[in-house]
Amino acid sequence: MRKVLFVLFFLLSAKALAARSNTEWSLHLDTKLDVTYFREVYGEDTNQEFYKLELDPIYDWKYKDFFRFYLKPTFIADPNNKSDEEKYFFDLSEAYVRYQTESFSIKAGNNIFTWGVTDGYNPLDVINSRQYFDPLHSRKLGATSLVYAHTFDNWDLEAVYIPKNRGSTMPGPQSRWLPREVFVPETPDNDIVLLLPKTLRYSYTSRQDLDHALDNNAALRIQRRGSFIDLGLTYFEGVASFPLVQPMVTGTIVQVSPKTVVQVDPDVVLNTKNYRIRQGGFTFVSNQWDFLFKYATAYTQSLGDDKNLPGWTHENVLGLEKTFNIGSDAVLIAILQHSFISSQRENDSNLSYTEIFRRAWMLGGRMTWKEVWNFSLLGLYDEIHGSNYEEVTLGRRFFDAWLVSLTASLIQGPSDTPLGVYEKNDSYTLSVSRSF
C-alpha cells in the first residue's frame, strides 16, 4: 500500500508542476488480461489455469528540453494463483528524473537496462535482477541507480552505479515451474540426481547474500557508432541475475554409480544464495548486403569461496537478421541465432537458465499485415539434450487501441534436462490488451 500511495503522490505532484509554462506532460495506461491454460496437471497443489490482469500507468513530464520525470510502475493481479507469493506483484520498474544537455545526461531513480544486441538470449543483459515466476518469460525488476551518459562524436559512454541491488525473485513453492519429477541440482562434482515423489512440498529458507553481492553494483558501457559497423564494450560487477539454488532433502539412496540417485522424501527445502559476478563483454553489429549481423560475447567470473559457485563462463551468440517486404502490406523480420557456451563446470542442472543455451539454435520471425494482423514464431533447439521449445502467436488489432492475441507455448525434452524440466508446461494463452 505504501508503494501505491508513493506512486499516486508523484503523479499528483508532477501534474501540478506541469501546469507551469515551458512544460509538457502525458498520462497513459496500458492494460492486459491474460487467460492461460496448461494442457496437463503437474503437481498436486499447482495451477492448471491463470487469470492475470496487468496495469502499467505511464506518466511522462518534461520541462523544456533538458529536464524529465518519467514514471512507469507495474501491477499484476493473479488472485487464483495457489502460490501466495505470486498472487499480487508490484514493482516501481521505472521512476526517474533526468537532466540532459546536447552531450550528456544524468539520471537518478529506478531504471530498466537492456545492454547487448542479441534477441532471445542476451548474455550481456545482466544489470537488472529478475522476477522468475515463469522462467521462460522472466521480468526485469527496476534497479535504483545513478546513471551518467555522455556522447563524444561517434562514441557513447554510459556509467551505472547501484548502491543496493534487488536480487531475483524465484517461483513460489506451489509453482509448476519448479521441478516435480527429477531434480538435477548444481553440485561441485555434478554427481547427484534427485527423484521426486508424487506428493511434494517445497519451501524456501531465507536468502543468503554471499560477499555482499547486492551492495555497490556498477556497470560501464562504451560504444562506437560507424557507417556500417557498431562496436561496444561492457563491464559489470554485481549480483548474478539467477541465484544459486541448493535443495536440502532426506531420502533413500537407490544408486551410487555413475551418479548418486536419491529417492526424495516429500519435503524439499530450497536454500538460495545471491552471489557476486564480474563480467566483461563485447558486441559487434554490421549492416551489410541487406542483412544485420550480430555478435555478442561475455566472460563472467563468479566471486567468492562457496564450493558450489559456477566459476568462469564464456558465452557467445551469433545472430543474423533480415527484413522482407511482402507485397505492399506485409513486413517480415526474420532472425537466426546460435549460442555456444563453455564454462569451468560443465553441468546438467535442470534449474539453470544458462544451461538451456549451452549449444542452442534459435529461429524467430515476426510478420505484420496492414498494421492490423501480426504473427510471430519462436523456435529453440538444444542440440546437446535434443530438447526444443516453440512459441506461436497470432494477434489482431481492433479500433486502433485493442489487441487480441492467442499464443501456444510447447516444450519437449527429458525431465532431467535444463529445458525438458518444463516439458509438462505446454500452455495456451488468450490475451486482450488496451491502451488508454
Which tens digit of pLDDT belongs to each residue from 212-260?
999 999 999 999 999 889 999 999 999 999 999 999 999 999 988 888 9
Spatial separation of the C-alpha atoms in residues 119 and 321, rounded to whole Å:
10
* Pairing mode, strands 359-369 and 312-326: unpaired
pLDDT of residue 90 exceeding 50: yes
The pLDDT mean for the chain works out to: 92
pLDDT of residue 126 exceeding 60: yes
Q: What is the pTM of this model?
A: 0.89
Q: Per-residue confidence at 305, pLDDT binned at 50, 70, 90?
A: very high
DSSP string, 28-96: EEEEEEEEEEESS--STTS-SEEEEEEEEEEEEEEETTTEEEEEEEEEEE-TT-SSGGGSEEEEEEEEE
Region 178-183 average pLDDT: 92
User: Among 274-283, 305-314, 348-357, which is the least confidently predicted range?
Assistant: 348-357
CATH number at residue 211: 2.40.160.10
User: What whole-number percentage of the chain has pLDDT above 70?
Assistant: 95
**Amino acid occupying residue 351:** L
Q: Per-residue confidence at 165, pLDDT binned at 50, 70, 90?
A: very high
Position 382 scores a pLDDT of 95
Buried b vs exposed e over 129-154: b needs ≥16 C-beta within 10 Å? bbbbbbbbebbbbbbbbebebebeee
pLDDT of residue 188 exceeding 80: no
When divided into structural domains, the chain yields a total of: 1
326 membership: H or E segment, kind and range: strand 312-326
Position 257 scores a pLDDT of 84
Distances (CA, A) of 421 to 136, 341, 353, 382, 385: 12, 20, 11, 13, 12
Domain extent at residue 158: 2-435
Q: How many residues does the chain have?
A: 436
192-221 pLDDT per residue, tens: 899 999 889 999 999 999 999 999 999 999
Say how many Å lie between the first and final Cα of the chain, rounded: 24
User: What whole-number percentage of the chain has pLDDT above 90?
Assistant: 80
pLDDT of residue 416 exceeding 60: yes
User: What contacts 5, CB < 8 A, 6 or more positions away?
Assistant: none
pLDDT of residue 148 exceeding 60: yes
Q: Per-residue confidence at 297, pLDDT binned at 50, 70, 90?
A: very high
Three-state DSSP class for 180?
coil
Q: Which of 436, 423, 344, 430 minimizes the C-alpha distance to 387?
A: 423
Position 318 scores a pLDDT of 97
342-359 pLDDT per residue, tens: 999 877 787 788 889 999
Position 230 scores a pLDDT of 96
4-33 pLDDT per residue, tens: 545 545 555 555 555 556 889 999 999 999
